[in-house]
Amino acid sequence: MKSSHRKRKLRLPRVVLVSALCLLVCGAIVYSLVGLAPPPPAPQLSPSAFPLVEPTVKYGLALDTVEYRVDTIRNGQTLSDILTAQGLGNQESFDASTRFNGMFDVRGLRAGRTYSVLDDPDTEGADFLVYQPSMFNYVRLDLQGNELDLKADLPMVMELDFASGVIESNVSDALDGTGHTVALTAGMESALQWSVDFYHMQPQDRFQLVFEKQKVGKDEAIGKVLAARYSTGGEDIYAFWYETPDSSYAGFLGLNGEPMKSTFLKSPVQFSRVSSSYNLRRFHPILKRTRPHYGTDYAAPYGTPILSVADGVIIERGRRGGNGNFVKVRHNKQLTTQYLHMQKFASGHKVGSRVKQGETIGYVGSTGLATGPHVCFRFWKDGKQVDHTKFKFPPAKKMDDEMLPGFFAQRDAFLAQLNEIGEPAQDTEAQIIEGQRVQEELKKAKQEEAK
């Protein structure tokens, strides 16, 4: 009897088949996603893992790698003295001084100013001496003789700044109250010195200024005053700095382009006060009797520069009696000025020397008959001494008419800034229209004369 044998098919349970199918589908999906996804980024160090320290760079050197010390130039100390103190021999000191003088006149070193010494511990002796004449530049002297001397300007940023104030006693006090420096007072006086009598200001006078601020790192300094308005007695006095693109003209101009620069300054000294006016019946404080005072006394600290109030020629310079040390300047055939009681004369002048307006001719002292430091300023017209505060000085030469459009565009920009920080006493537009009318009349009059 044959026995039959059938091969039986292996059947997997339905659950197993479904599970396998799901695994295949999910695997395909995951594979496709992995294939499409970008590769993961490379491992990165966090900023806090190994913090990078920025080196402190000054004078073109990394200060973190050297010993850095600051010292002060003492009275009578020379550059050679300073170099010898750093360990340089006589010849080395001489050579280094010569190289330094090629970059900066050693006569410009001033007692009380500081200098820096940089010393690399890996070298023998100090490496560099640095002197900074101002916040804007420095001189670096290589003490190792490796030809690394350097004279460099520091990067500067120029910004516009603004100031305004009300007079209670004087300009300095008003500006001090706004946190500004003496330099801004000087800039304001320079802009308005031909038109504002800073020695007879009235309480409640007002002013507004637009000026440059120069910044080097954290240090800053006052630059040029670009626009000024001074309001007194219901009148506005303006001064705008203007320079033509070709630099053929540069100076302060008034609201309608009239030159602010008069042929004479109002005073021979800045930062002073009138201590005694022109008075034909003045009681003399030393002689104790009535005696005419033919000048105006300006009290100021010893050593304050005395300025020639106009271009001219020195006709006398010396010492005589109660005048003490004095200088006399002839400006033209009609006008002469004299400056008395000087502490000392400015160098480089003698009788016959020509001087410019604003040039220093001496320094405030108390030589002769004087109770304290001041300059007695005397003014001659046609050989007779007169009160200069009541004298009308001739105006300076006008700017060419073809330059006026450029000035007016700049003036209008400054006017907008002045008006943002203070109100004028007068209607500015009306002032401009009146100024234009006057200019047109003068122009027509000149044309008529030419015919």
The string of DSSP codes covering 340-366 is EEEEEEPTT--TT-EE-TT-EEEEEB-
CB 432 within 8 A of CB 255: yes
**Cα 69 from Cα 347, distance rounded (Å):** 36
260, 448 Cβ separation under 8 angstroms:
no
Distance CA 109, CA 132 (A): 10
- Give the residues across from 216 on adjacent strands: 219
Rounded to an integer, what distance in angstroms lies between the CA atom of residue 288 and that of residue 185? 37
d(CA 61, CA 149): 12
**What whole-number distance in Å separates Cα of residue 149 and Cα of residue 16?**
88
| Strands of 167-234, DSSP E | 206-216, 219-232
- Pick the closest to residue 305 from 354, 256, 350, 346 (CA basis): 346
- Name which of 268, 287, 246, 284 is nearest 377 in CA terms: 268
Residue type, 134: S
| Dist CA 442 CA 437 (whole Å) | 9
Cβ-based burial of 365 (10 A; exposed 0-12, middle 13-18, buried ≥19) = buried
Compute the distance between CA of residue 379 and CA of residue 387 in angstroms, rounded to an integer.
7
367 and 319 Cβ atoms separated by less than 8 Å: yes
CA distance 253 to 245: 16
Task: Report, in angstroms and rounded to the nearest whole number, the Rg of the chain calculated over CA atoms.
Answer: 38
pLDDT of residue 26: 59
The dihedral built from the CA positions of residue 214, 220, 225 and 229, taken in this order, carries a sign that is positive
Beta-bridge partners for 241: 252
Angle at 150 between CA 147 and CA 154, to 5 degrees: 160
- Residue pair 176/165 in contact (Cβ under 8 Å)? The answer is no
* Tens digit of each residue's pLDDT (9 = 90 or more) over 337-355: 999 999 999 999 999 999 9
Q: Which residue has the tokens 């219901």?
A: 234
Three-class DSSP category at 56: coil
pLDDT tens digits for the chain (451 residues)? Answer: 444 444 444 455 565 555 666 666 556 555 554 555 566 666 555 555 556 666 777 888 887 878 889 999 999 899 999 999 998 999 999 999 999 999 998 888 888 999 999 998 888 889 999 999 988 999 999 999 888 999 999 888 999 999 998 887 667 676 666 566 678 888 888 888 778 877 677 888 899 999 999 998 888 888 899 999 999 888 999 999 998 888 778 889 988 888 877 778 888 987 667 777 666 555 555 555 555 677 888 988 999 999 999 889 999 999 998 899 999 999 988 899 999 999 999 999 999 999 988 899 999 999 998 888 999 999 998 888 888 877 777 666 667 778 888 999 999 999 999 999 999 988 888 888 877 776 777 677 667 766 6
Distances (CA, A) of 419 to 45, 92, 285: 55, 61, 47
* Cα–Cα distance for residue pair 65/59, rounded to 1 Å: 13
Please state, in angstroms and as integers, the Cα–Cα distance from residue 62 to each residue in 52, 138, 203, 215, following that order.
15, 16, 54, 22
pLDDT at 65: 79
Residues ≥6 apart with Cβ < 8 Å to 73: 82, 109, 110, 111, 112, 113, 114, 115
User: According to DSSP H, which parts of 151-270 are helical?
Assistant: 171-176, 182-192
Cβ(230)–Cβ(194) under 8 Å?
no
Q: How far apart are CA 119 and CA 125, in angstroms?
A: 7
**Kind and range of the H or E element at 428?**
helix 428-450
State the alpha helices, DSSP H only, in 244-320.
none
Q: Which residues pair with 130 in a beta bridge?
A: 116, 140
Q: pLDDT, tens digit, for every residue of 194-238?
A: 788 776 778 888 999 999 999 988 888 888 999 999 998 889 999
User: pTM of the full predicted structure?
Assistant: 0.59
Res 354: pLDDT: 92
Structural domains in the chain?
Answer: 58-153 (3.10.450.350), 157-253 (3.10.450.350), 273-390 (2.70.70.10)
What tokens were used for 219? 């240090």
Tell me the two tokens of residue 395: 């105006």
Task: Say how many Å lie between the first and final Cα of the chain, rounded.
Answer: 159
Report the DSSP pairing between strands 114-119 and 128-134. Answer: antiparallel
**pLDDT number for residue 195:** 80
